[in-house]
Structure 1
Amino acid sequence: MNGAVTTPSGPPARRAPLAGLAVFAAMVLLVVLGHEGRRVAQLLVLALPVLAWPAWPVRSPAVHRLRGAVVWLWAMAFAFDAVARAYLLEAYQAAPDSALVLGAAANTNARESGEYLAMHWRSLAAWSAVLLAAALVFGRFAPRGARGPAAGSRWLAGLLCLAVLASALAYASKPWRRLHPAVFWSQWGGTVQTLRAGWADRQQQREAVLARARAAAPVIAETGPSTLVLVITDSINRDNMALYGYGRATTPRLLAHKAQLQDQMLVMRNAWSVDASTLPSVHNILNFGQPESQDPQHVLALARAAGYKTWWMSNHDDIGIEQQHARLADVVEIVNRVPGRAGASLDGELLDCLQEALEDPAERKLIVVHFLGAHPHYALRFPDGANPFDDSIDRVEEQLSERGRSAWVRRFRQEYDSAILYSDFVVAETLRLARGVGRQDGYRAWMFLSDHGQEVGHGGDHAGHSPQTASGYRIPAIVWRNRPIEPRDTAAIEARPLRTDWASWTLAELLHLRWPGDATERDALRPNYRWQPPVLPMAVESFER
């Protein structure tokens, strides 16, 4: 015979502690993956009561089977918690209760979840394999608890009592108790639902924002017709734009505009987002970098209060942005009503909407255009068959290979660059329309920036949002006005670092808005501009390069 034969009465009692130790050892390995420092000890103490149960002999076969099932389910709850946290740490350097993850979960639906899985299935599959391995280990050892009459070992009874006492004290402490997977994830789900509910009922808050703007009594410092087109795009890293010196021809149309417009078109060489995800970045862009202050002003509300007719047109199906920002505008047009920010709607669908707004007879207009840009899934951000970089062996591909980037990251870079190329077409068209459609007898301006960047093999073998690398924050920013600028002023302004949470001050200048308390030193176009580096979660060698 190979090995011991398990009798109908089960494994010997002396093997039960070994089975319990095997479950506990596997638990330790998993918890270390998702937690660190003191948290590891806290989680293990919380897990002790049930994990110690197999060491206590039981007579009833039914209770024995029930105990095995309970131990397996208990261990799997901690395993799921550890694997989920480990995945988030690896992919985003974020905890599940961070603003980044909570906001993304509250802003996600079934379609977007499916498309996220399609893009990140490799990493998810690897972590799912870890979870499956844990399930197999727990399934093998959890049912091997001690059977028969209670053993007379005092040391075992003492150890079990100590384990139960330690766990009882841990559960009596609310900060410790909240770490238990069942408690943590149920509260996490409630927080996500609360966020969604808050976003779905924002009318009262919007009315308060408009009331604050009217109380500030903003005025327009210039007479005559005035039009500003603000283009906010998603997930574009300036390092992938030929306009900023990238090695692939990703922005031929914007380069053509720059060659034609010269000093009227300001290409801000050192623009930075202060957030690595859409929701907080858009809040900062439009709320003057003070979205959490007691009485923040909103640039759309100020424009409306001063007499501008405002539009918000979007290719995002995004309830958070729609309820907090878009619905502040006089006219709202959202062309993408297929759930999920990763839907297949192309940004070009908004060009007709923009042309109609520019043809509107209103004397003063602020038109906000919100694109999907290069938001993952990258292959959905450009038309079918429009990937000129597919499998091309150019210098960019060679450099990625030299830096050890995997084949799948290199493929994502090809798709990402194709999304940038299509975005170049759409963004350049918005500039062409802003320059040539509608009334030509007044002031016109156009501003383009991305909400945040994207990591596509720049700082590591990773593709996607990246809060821990500079690529997550490096963005393009471009300003055009139909007013001449001195060449020496153009060069100086283009070299200035710009941060998205101050963008509203630049927008206010482009709108010629004045109100008590405005901070002109945060407007990157003003002579008195005073730069202050933002605090990012990683070190930046220089914001000016």
Structure 2
Amino acid sequence: MRAFARKHPIIWAYCFIAFFSFSYHIPLYSLGMSGTTGLRQTVLMSFLWLLPVVLLPRYTRLLLALAGLVMWPAALTSIFYFIIYGQEFSQSAIFIAFESNAAESSEFIRSYWQWWFVPLLLVYSAIPIWMWQQLPVVSLSRRQKTAYGSVFALIAFWPFIGTLAATTQAPMADATYHQMIRMEPTAPWNLVFGYVKYQQQMADMTDLLQQNRKVKPLANLVAVDTLPDTVVLVLGESTNRQRMSLYGYPRETTPRLDALHEQGDLLVFRDVVTPRPYTIEALQQILSFADAKSPERFFNEPTLLNMMKQAGYEITWITNQQTQTRRNTMLTTFSQMADHQVYLNNNRQQNAHQYDEDVLAPVAQALASGAKKKLVIVHMLGTHRGYHYRYPDSYAHFRDNTGAPAWITPDILAEYNSYDNAVRYNDYVVASLIGVVRYRDEKSLLVYFSDHGEEVFDNPEQLFTGRNEGAPTSAMYTVPFLVWTSPAFKQQRDISSWAAGENRPYSNAYFIHTFAQMVGLSFDRLQPHDSLISAEFVPAPRWIGDPLNPKTLRDYNVAVGTEKPFDLAKTTRNENLGI
């Protein structure tokens, strides 16, 4: 090896640098816990550390010794986090660490410490020390310095350079951000940029929470019926009800929920759509009084969590979504409105094996709380894109084209099947959550719906996967909406009238009104005509599009091209949006 290092000193120096990140990303990828992103960025961003080497070759050993001392603790942090949690280290893990107190940290060390951590640490440290000892003094001509330096700089800083050249609005900010996210998978930038992003997102979250604290409580909030002791709100992800056998799909993708429905234990609402095909934007309306007409109400009126706190409920937010990302700050803000938080997914990338069954134990623990009134909000990964990551191999039920539409060709069959398998696994998790709640034998209410749907080759005229608000299809908006109530709850409340709403056309933008009536609450701003279970319900246009750009707002029936436009003359409601 020493002979190779002397003959190819730059290659050996690169191997020394890359070791600290490859030693972490190779196990992640080989075990199927992440995609290739981390490996690709490690290959490219490791060239960054070669720049001082080619500029000051006579100090190669000193420079790489200093670099190793910086990368070593960062790499160890990622490795031990992976060993303990089986997840990729990210700024979400930093958030959890800073949100923990000294007692929790001490308990963590006692719980997870293993004797073999010490020999592992010694072996892991010995490898780069040995590699460093093989390093020769590097000698480069001026021409070689220029050539190597130019190539390495171009490789390492291409995200910044490319974005700067392609972006016209806020180019410096965008270029810096893209450079950061490319460098973040590698040591020590996993810690450095993870902390920077944590600070930025904490500042944004603090502003939102402070704004929410200034909101006035709901006027004249009262219980008008027997309140459930336990309320569980299950938020799914990217699940199109048209791919559920519960809603008539020919493949048996929801056998457990089908059985519950046949037993008369489930209310299945069959015509609910989401207002937006994106998680954050959809939940901003669903969990607040905001809608297409009044998006500002999210900021200046109470949210669903505020309402339930005011009603005396202890709230626990359990999430299997990523804790902190550039997009998920709003979700973390929602979680911080709760009394207790459980963050299960600290992966840096969404494309990682993270199964929703992980929520079951925390939910059971939350239900065992001594609080008289409990609201548990469970936010799952559901059937989020990267469908094969959403279920274990034992749930790879659909493997051929049996039951698939005729337009599903062999080249897209695997992804089509993966989505159906994810739906079938989601069926298992939702049914299991119902089982956990049933076991408590309390006056309980469970509501499940997905934040939005997902197009997965459902339209033969335009084969496509994902969501695009600019070119909407029904699959992007049609969501399951299920309600389960315990026998004890039904003994106290007559909910027989709820079934009248099962076929009503409804937008989940108004969910807070339905939820309030299901729980048994009333207040001045409650709109019974917006409640799916109210005898006063009035059908209305189901607007989809961006509320901040009113010209994009369209009636769902018109936008998806499957139904006649909603007849405004049939409603007494004022829906003048100026469009």
Identical residues among aligned pairs (%): 26
Find the aligned partners of 2:446 and 2:225 in 1 and give their Cα distance: 17
From 205, 208, 214, the counterpart of 2:208: 205
CA shift for structure 1 position 539:
3.6
Does the C-alpha gap of structure 1 residues 543 and 394 become closer, same or farther in structure 2, counting only changes over 3 Å? farther
Give the 5 Å matches for 1:40-51. Answer: none
Q: Which residue of 1 aligns with 2:482?
A: 478
* Whole-Å separation in 1 of the counterparts to 2:256 and 2:169: 50
Could you tell me how far apart the structure 1 residues matched to 2:218 and 2:500 are? 36
- Cα pair distance change 1:318/1:531, threshold 3 Å: farther
Amino acid at match of 1:275: R
The code of the aligned residue for 1:304 comes to K
Q: Which amino acid aligns with 1:289?
A: A
- Where 1:335 maps in the other structure, the secondary structure is strand
In the alignment, structure 2 segments of 5+ residues that lack a partner are: 1-89, 93-163, 179-195, 546-558, 567-579
Q: Is the 8 A contact 2:383 2:422 kept in 1?
A: yes
Q: How does 1:399-418 map to 2 (within 5 A)?
A: 399=405, 402-403=406-407, 405-418=408-421
Number of the residue aligned with 2:57: none
Partner of 1:462: 464
**TM-score, scaled to structure 2:** 0.57
Cα deviation, residue 181, structure 1: 4.2
Equivalent residue, structure 2, for 1:542: 563
Distance (whole Å) between structure 1 residues aligned to residue 216 and residue 371 of structure 2: 21
Closer/same/farther in 2, CA of residues 220 and 470 from structure 1, 3 Å limit: same
Q: For residues 394-473 of structure 1, what are the structure 2 equivalents within 5 Å? A: 394-396=402-404, 399=405, 402-403=406-407, 405-437=408-440, 440=442, 443-459=443-459, 460-467=462-469, 468=471, 469-473=473-477
Secondary structure of the structure 1 residue equivalent to 2:315:
strand
Q: 1: distance between equivalents of 2:221 and 2:210? A: 17
Q: Distance in 1 between matches of 2:409 and 2:91?
A: 29
* CA positional deviation for 1:499: 1.4
- Once the two structures are overlaid, the 10-residue window that deviates more, 474-483 or 249-258, is 474-483
1:493-523 deviation digits (Å, cap 9, x = unpaired): 1111221211111111222222222212111
Q: Is the 8 A contact 1:210 1:305 kept in 2?
A: no
Q: Is 1:266 matched up with 2:271?
A: no
Aligned pair 1:307/2:292, yes or no?
Answer: no
- Sort the Cα spacing of 1:476 and 1:225 in 2 relative to 1 into closer, same or farther, 3 A: closer
Deviations 1:134-173 (A, max 9, x none): xxxxxxxxxxxxxxxxxxxxxxxxxxxxxxxxxxxxxxxx
Which residue of 2 is the match for residue 510 of structure 1? 518
Distance 1:308 1:191 in 2: 43
**2 CA distance for matches of 1:190 and 1:374?**
32
Match of 1:528, SS? coil
Instruction: Give SS of 2:424's match.
Output: helix
Deviation string, structure 1 residues 377-415 (Cα, Å, up to 9, x no partner): 10000002421111x23132xx2xx33x44343211100
- 300-309 or 221-230: bigger deviation: 221-230
Alignment-mate amino acid for residue 526 of structure 1: S
Cα distance 1:543–1:476, how it changes in 2: closer, same or farther (>3 A)? farther
Mapped partners of 1:542, 1:481: distance in 2: 33
Offset at 1:491? Answer: 4.9
Does the aligned pair in 2 maintain the 1:497–1:543 contact within 8 Å?
Answer: no
Give the SS at the match of 1:202: helix
Say which is worse superposed, 503-512 or 529-538, in terms of deviation: 529-538
**Partner Cα separation in structure 2 for residue 309 and residue 199 of structure 1:** 24
Deviation at 1:207, TM superposition (A): 3.9
* 1:234 corresponds to which of 223, 237, 241: 237
C-alpha displacement at 1:223, in angstroms?
5.1
Q: What is the CA–CA distance in structure 1 between the aligned matches of 2:510 and 2:304, rounded to whole Å?
A: 11
Q: In structure 2, which of residues 367, 374, 378 is the aligned counterpart of residue 365 of structure 1?
A: 374
Q: Secondary structure at the match of 1:453?
A: coil
Provide structure 1 residue ranges, at least 5 long, that are not aligned to the other structure. 1-108, 112-178
**Matching of residue 287 in structure 1 with residue 296 in structure 2:** no
User: Which residue identity does 2:254 align to in structure 1?
Assistant: T
State the distance in 2 between where 1:214 and 1:491 align: 31
Q: 1:488 to 1:337 in 2, by over 3 A?
A: closer
Q: Specify the SS of the correspondent of 1:214.
A: coil
Across the aligned residues of Structure 1 and Structure 2, the Cα RMSD in angstroms comes to 3.1
Q: Describe the shift of the 1:488–1:277 C-alpha distance in structure 2 as closer, same or farther (beyond 3 A).
A: same
**Alpha-carbon displacement from aligned partner over 1:443-478 (angstroms, at most 9, x marks no partner):** 311100000101111123112224321211111001
Q: What amino acid is the match of 2:277?
A: A
Write the letter of the residue equivalent to 1:246: Y
Alpha-carbon spacing, 1:213–1:231, altered in 2? closer, same or farther (3 Å) = farther
- Distance 1:195-1:503 versus aligned 2 partners, 3 A rule: farther
Which residue number in structure 1 is paired with residue 171 of structure 2?
186
Q: Aligned letter for 1:267?
A: V
Q: Which residue in 2 is equivalent to 1:374?
A: 383
What TM-score, normalized by structure 1, do the two folds share? Answer: 0.60
Change (3 A) 1:336 1:488: closer
Mapped partners of 2:561, 2:445: distance in 1: 32
Q: How many angstroms apart in 2 are the aligned matches of 1:213 and 1:445?
A: 27
Counterparts of 1:507 and 1:383, CA distance in 2: 33
More moved, 351-360 vs 500-509: 500-509
1:266-307 per-position Cα deviation (integer Å, ceiling 9, x unaligned): 101111011111110111111123443351320001111221
Map of 1:93 onto structure 2: none
Matches of 1:426 and 1:201 in 2, distance apart?
33
Write the letter of the residue equivalent to 1:221. V
Name the structure 1 match of 2:47.
none
Shift of 1:259: 1.6
Query: How far, CA to CA, are the matches of 1:199 and 1:499 in structure 2?
Result: 32
Residues 496/543 of structure 1: CA separation in 2 closer, same or farther (3 Å cut): farther
Following superposition of structure 1 onto structure 2, how do residues 66-81 of structure 1 map, counting pairs within 5 Å? none
**2-structure distance, mates of 1:487, 1:361:** 27
Q: What is the rounded CA distance, in whole Å, between the counterparts of 1:359 and 1:110 in structure 2?
A: 31
- The DSSP-based 3-state class of the residue aligned with 2:358 is helix
Instruction: State the secondary structure of the residue aligned to 1:368.
Output: strand
Tell me: CA distance 1:225–1:535, structure 2 relative to 1, closer, same or farther (3 Å): closer
**1:219 match:** 222
Query: Residue 485 of structure 2 aligns to which amino acid in structure 1?
Result: R
Structure 1: distance between partners of 2:319 and 2:197: 21
Provide the C-alpha distance between the structure 1 equivalents of 2:361 and 2:480, rounded to a whole number of angstroms: 24
